[in-house]
Amino acid sequence: EDKVVQSPLSLVVHEGDTVTLNCSYEVTNFRSLLWYKQEKKAPTFLFMLTSSGIEKKSGRLSSILDKKELFSILNITATQTGDSAIYLCAVLQGAQKLVFGQGTRLTINP
């Protein structure tokens, strides 16, 4: 069965800390891996990773994919309270089907 597993499920840190969120997957017909941030409403797109070893960066956020070991990490440096959210990892399969992980709930305390 296709599955995407995220860890940790919940993380509480102080403002300014650096966090690493993990996503491992076992899916058929892998096309790409996507990271989303979900605050109160819709998931908003962060990154899409298709190739191994190429880091994608956006401000304090960065992500990398390892297609041999079947995992990805999302790093957030110098965290801010606005980074508090649920971070979702999803793997895109052949016919545009996204398989989501259960999410990591990140809480940044001032």
Partner 1 sequence: DTAVSQTPKYLVTQMGNDKSIKCEQNLGHDTMYWYKQDSKKFLKIMFSYNNKELIINETVPNRFSPKSPDKAHLNLHINSLELGDSAVYFCASSPGLAGESTDTQYFGPGTRLTVL
Residues at the interface with partner 1 (CB under 8 A)? 31-32, 34, 36, 38, 41-45, 48, 50, 86, 88, 90, 92, 95-100, 102-103, 105
Which segments of the chain are extended strands (E)? Answer: 3-7, 10-14, 19-26, 30-38, 43-49, 56-58, 61-66, 71-76, 85-93, 97-100, 104-109
**Closest separation in Å from C-beta 34 to partner 1:** 7
Residue with tokens 């296709």: 2
Q: Which is nearer to partner 1, 14 or 41 (CB)?
A: 41
**Closest separation in Å from C-beta 16 to partner 1:** 27
Q: Which is nearer to partner 1, 41 or 68 (CB)?
A: 41
Q: Which is nearer to partner 1, 75 or 102 (CB)?
A: 102
The Cβ of residue 6 has, within 10 Å, a number of other Cβ atoms equal to 22
**Closest separation in Å from C-beta 78 to partner 1:** 26
CA distances from 7 to 65, 87, 93 (A): 15, 10, 21
Q: Which amino acid is at 4?
A: V
Q: Which is nearer to partner 1, 83 or 87 (CB)?
A: 87
